[in-house]
Amino acid sequence: MARPAPLPFVISRYAATRYKSGMDEAKFIAATRFGFGPGPQDGQGGDARGWLKAQLQGPDPGLASGAFTGLPTGQQAVDALRADAMARKTLKEQGLPEKGNFQSQARALYEQDAAAQLNFAATTPAPFRERLVWFWANHFSVSAQQNQAAPLIGPMLREAIRPHVTGNFAGMVQAAERHPAMLRYLDNDVSIGPDSRAGQRTGRGLNENLGRECMELHTVGLAAGYTQADVTAMANILTGWSIAPSDKGSDSTGFLCRPFAHEPGPQTVMGQTFDGGEQAGIDALNFLATYPTTYNLLAKKLVTHFVADNPPPGAVARISGVLRDTEGDLGAASAALVDLPRAWTPGQKLKTPFDYVVSTMRAAPPPPDQPAPKLLAILSGLGQPVWGAPLPNGWPDAAAPWAGSDSVTSRIDWAYTYAARFTDTGPAPMDVAHAALGPLLRTATLAAMQSAGSRREALTLFLTAPEFQRR
Amino acid sequence: MPSLSRRATLVGLGLTTTLGRVKLALADAPTQTRFVVVLLRGALDGMYSVVPYGDANLASLRPELIPPAPGQQGGMFDLGGFYGLNPNLPNLAAMYQAGELLPIHAVAGPYRTRSHFEAQDLLQLGLEEDNPGITSGWLNRTLRELPTRNGPALMGLAAGMGMPLLLQGPARVDSYAPEHFASPPPNLAARIAALNAGDPLTGPAITDGMQAASLDQSIMSDDATSAPGDAPNRGGAFPALASKVGQLLAADDGPRIAAFQLEGWDTHGNQVAGLKTPLTGLDQGLTSLKTTLGPAWAQTCVLVMTEFGRTAAMNGTKGTDHGTATAAFALGGAVNGGRVIATWPGLGSGQLFENRDLAPTLDIRAVAKGALTQHLGLSAPALARVFPGSGDAAPLSGIIRAS
Reduce the secondary structure of chain B to three states and give it as a string: CCCCCHHHHHHHHHHHHCHHHHHHHHHHCCCCCEEEEEEECCCCCHHHHEECCCCCCHHHHCHHHCCCCCCCCCCCEECCCCCEECCCCHHHHHHHHCCCEEEEEEEECCCCCCCHHHHHHHHHHCCCCCCCCCCCCHHHHHHHHCCCCCCCCCCEEEECCCCCHHHCCCCCCEEECCCCCCCCCHHHHHHHHHHHCCCCCHHHHHHHHHHHHHHHHHHHCCCCCCCCCCCCCCHHHHHHHHHHHHHHHHCCCCCCEEEEEECCCCCCCCHHHHCHHHHHHHHHHHHHHHHHHHHHHHHEEEEEEECCCEECCCCCCCCCCECCCEEEEEECCCECCCCCECCCCCCCCCCCECCCECCCCEEHHHHHHHHHHHHHCCCHHHHHHHCCCCCCCCCCCCCECCC
Nearest CA in chain A to B274: A146
Distance, in Å, from the CA atom of B64 to the CA atom of A431, rounded to the nearest integer, reads 64
Compare CB distances from A408 to B113, B182, B209 and report the shortest one's residue. Answer: B209
Residue B119 and residue B4 share a domain: no
Output the pLDDT for position B173.
Answer: 84
Q: Per-residue pLDDT for B22 more than 60?
A: no
Output the pLDDT for position B161.
Answer: 63
Nearest CA in chain B to A232: B321
Residue B182, judged by CB atoms within 10 A of its CB (0-12, 13-18, 19+), counts as middle
Output the pLDDT for position B150.
Answer: 56
Distance, in Å, from the CA atom of A158 to the CA atom of A174, rounded to the nearest integer, reads 14
CATH classification at residue B320: 3.40.720
Mutate to test the interface with A, among B172, B321, B352, B354 (most CBs of A within 10 A): B321
Contacts of A1 (CB under 8 A, 6+ apart): none
Nearest CA in chain A to B266: A391
pLDDT single digits (tens) A154-181:
999 999 999 999 999 999 999 999 999 9
Q: Per-residue pLDDT for A12 more than 50?
A: no
Output the pLDDT for position B160.
Answer: 72
Q: Which residues in chain A touch residue B225, judged by CB atoms under 8 angstroms apart?
A: 377, 381
- N-to-C CA span, chain A: 37
pLDDT single digits (tens) A117-131:
999 999 999 999 999
Output the pLDDT for position A1.
Answer: 31
Output the pLDDT for position B236.
Answer: 56
Least Cα distance to A288 among A336, A209, A371, A223 occurs for A223
- B149 — pLDDT class (breaks 50, 70, 90): low
Distance, in Å, from the CA atom of A165 to the CA atom of A130, rounded to the nearest integer, reads 9
Q: Is residue B392 part of a domain?
A: no
Residue B6 and residue B83 share a domain: no
- B390 — pLDDT class (breaks 50, 70, 90): very high
Q: Which residues in chain A touch residue B212, judged by CB atoms under 8 angstroms apart?
A: 405-406, 409
Please answer yes or no on whether A380 and B228 come within 8 Å at the CB atom. yes
Please answer yes or no on whether B205 and A150 come within 8 Å at the CB atom. no
How distant is the Cα of A374 from the closest Cα of chain B, in angstroms?
Answer: 8
How distant is the Cα of A387 from the closest Cα of chain B, in angstroms?
Answer: 9
Distance, in Å, from the CA atom of B174 to the CA atom of B212, rounded to the nearest integer, reads 7
Q: Per-residue pLDDT for A426 more than 90?
A: no
pLDDT single digits (tens) B198-251:
999 999 999 888 776 655 443 333 333 333 233 333 345 788 889 888 998 998
Nearest CA in chain A to B316: A205
Output the pLDDT for position A142.
Answer: 98
pLDDT single digits (tens) B275-319:
998 999 999 999 999 999 999 999 999 999 999 999 999 999 999
- A370 — pLDDT class (breaks 50, 70, 90): confident
Residue B67 and residue B6 share a domain: no
Please answer yes or no on whether B317 and A382 come within 8 Å at the CB atom. no
Q: What is the mean pLDDT of residues B139-151?
A: 81
Taking the alpha carbons of B112, B258, B293, B300 in that order, is the dihedral positive or negative? negative
Lowest mean pLDDT, pick from A51-55, A145-149, A460-464: A145-149
Question: Number of CB pairs < 8 Å for A and B?
Answer: 217
Mutate to test the interface with A, among B122, B199, B214 (most CBs of A within 10 A): B199
Contact B289, B159 (CB under 8 A): no
Least Cα distance to A387 among A134, A66, A69 occurs for A134
- A39 — pLDDT class (breaks 50, 70, 90): confident
How distant is the Cα of A196 from the closest Cα of chain B, in angstroms?
Answer: 12
E strand or H helix that includes residue A241: strand A241-243
Nearest CA in chain B to A211: B321
Least Cα distance to B168 among B204, B201, B135, B210 occurs for B135
Q: Is residue B169 part of a domain?
A: yes
Q: Is residue B212 part of a domain?
A: no
How distant is the Cα of B221 from the closest Cα of chain A, in angstroms?
Answer: 12
Residue B255 and residue B232 share a domain: yes
Compare CB distances from A144 to B194, B199, B229 and report the shortest one's residue. Answer: B229
Contact B257, B143 (CB under 8 A): yes
Q: Per-residue pLDDT for A420 more than 60?
A: yes
Nearest CA in chain B to A144: B229
Contact B80, B340 (CB under 8 A): yes
Q: Which residues in chain B touch residue A393, judged by CB atoms under 8 angstroms apart?
A: 116-117
Mutate to test the interface with B, among A405, A407, A423, A462 (most CBs of B within 10 A): A405
Please answer yes or no on whether B163 and A416 come within 8 Å at the CB atom. no
Q: Which residues in chain A touch residue B202, judged by CB atoms under 8 angstroms apart?
A: 350, 403, 408, 466, 469
CA A52 to mean position of chain CA atoms? 19
Contacts of B154 (CB under 8 A, 6+ apart): B172, B173, B174, B208, B211, B212, B255
Phi, psi for B90 (deg, rounded to 5) = -65, -35
Q: What is the mean pLDDT of residues A323-329?
A: 98
Q: Is residue B382 part of a domain?
A: yes
pLDDT single digits (tens) A263-310:
999 999 999 999 989 999 999 999 999 999 999 999 999 999 999 999
Output the pLDDT for position A216.
Answer: 97
**What is the rounded average pLDDT for all residues in chain A?**
91
Contact A288, A219 (CB under 8 A): yes
Compare CB distances from A448 to B195, B198, B322 and report the shortest one's residue. Answer: B195
- A137 — pLDDT class (breaks 50, 70, 90): very high
* 3 state SS of A272: strand
Q: Is residue B104 part of a domain?
A: yes
Which one has a higher pLDDT value, A17 or B236? B236
In percent, how much of chain B has pLDDT > 70? Answer: 83
- N-to-C CA span, chain B: 33
Which one has a higher pLDDT value, B177 or B51? B51
Contact A354, A134 (CB under 8 A): yes
> How many structural domains comprise chain B?
2
Residue B380 and residue B370 share a domain: yes
Q: Which residues in chain B touch residue A464, judged by CB atoms under 8 angstroms apart?
A: 192, 195-196
Output the pLDDT for position A425.
Answer: 78
Compare CB distances from A228 to B114, B208, B209 and report the shortest one's residue. Answer: B114
Residues pairing with B353 in the sheet:
B357
Output the pLDDT for position B235.
Answer: 43
Lowest mean pLDDT, pick from A218-222, A324-328, A356-360, A371-375: A371-375
Please answer yes or no on whether B229 and A386 come within 8 Å at the CB atom. yes
Contacts of A339 (CB under 8 A, 6+ apart): A49
Please answer yes or no on whether A404 and B205 come within 8 Å at the CB atom. yes
Residue B148 and residue B16 share a domain: no
Please answer yes or no on whether B230 and A380 come within 8 Å at the CB atom. yes
> Within 13 Å and on the Cβ side, how many CA atoms surround B86?
25
Compare CB distances from B315 to A207, A386, A403 and report the shortest one's residue. Answer: A207
Mutate to test the interface with A, among B121, B192, B260, B261 (most CBs of A within 10 A): B192
How distant is the Cα of B99 from the closest Cα of chain A, in angstroms?
Answer: 34
State pTM to two decimals: 0.79
How distant is the Cα of A389 from the closest Cα of chain B, in angstroms?
Answer: 9
pLDDT single digits (tens) B310-357:
999 999 999 999 999 999 999 999 999 999 999 999 999 899 999 999
Residue B1 and residue B76 share a domain: no
Q: Which residues in chain A touch residue B189, judged by CB atoms under 8 angstroms apart?
A: 412
Phi, psi for B212 (deg, rounded to 5) = -65, -40
Helices A7-15 and A455-464 meet at what angle, rounded to 10? 50
* 3 state SS of A387: coil
How distant is the Cα of A198 from the closest Cα of chain B, in angstroms?
Answer: 11
Which one has a higher pLDDT value, A401 or A289? A289
Compare CB distances from B316 to A186, A206, A381 and report the shortest one's residue. Answer: A206
Compare CB distances from A376 to B179, B229, B356 and report the shortest one's residue. Answer: B229
Please answer yes or no on whether A381 and B181 come within 8 Å at the CB atom. yes
Nearest CA in chain B to A396: B162
For residue B15, give its domain range.
Answer: 1-30
Taking the alpha carbons of B237, A357, A370, A10 in that order, is the dihedral positive or negative? negative
Mutate to test the interface with A, among B268, B270, B314, B354 (most CBs of A within 10 A): B268
**What is the rounded average pLDDT for all residues in chain B?**
84
Q: What is the mean pLDDT of residues A140-153?
A: 95
Please answer yes or no on whether B175 and A400 come within 8 Å at the CB atom. no
Q: What is the mean pLDDT of residues A171-192?
A: 97
Mutate to test the interface with A, among B180, B223, B314 (most CBs of A within 10 A): B180
Residue B149 and residue B14 share a domain: no
Q: What is the mean pLDDT of residues A207-231?
A: 97
Output the pLDDT for position B214.
Answer: 57
Q: Per-residue pLDDT for A33 more than 90?
A: yes
Q: Is residue B310 part of a domain?
A: yes
